[in-house]
Amino acid sequence: MFLVVLLLMAALAGAAVHLPMPALLALTVLVAGWLLAFGARERLSRRS
């Protein structure tokens, strides 16, 4: 399973090289925002 995840990450990283820089930055901000929201939700749910 770990090998499959590594291969998928490599494929996504390779695809990101071919994106224009503004699109790559926009996707980076989108993913970072999603991760921050998910982390905040998890932290708040563990406190209650």
Check residue 1 and give its pLDDT.
86
**Distance set, CA 34 to CA 18, 37, 41 (Å):** 23, 5, 11
Check residue 24 and give its pLDDT.
87
Q: Render pLDDT for 12-43 as a digit per residue (tens, 0 to 9).
A: 888 888 889 999 899 889 999 999 999 999 99
CA 8 to chain centre: 13
Q: How far apart are CA 42 and CA 48, in angstroms?
A: 10
Q: Residue 48: pLDDT above 70?
A: no
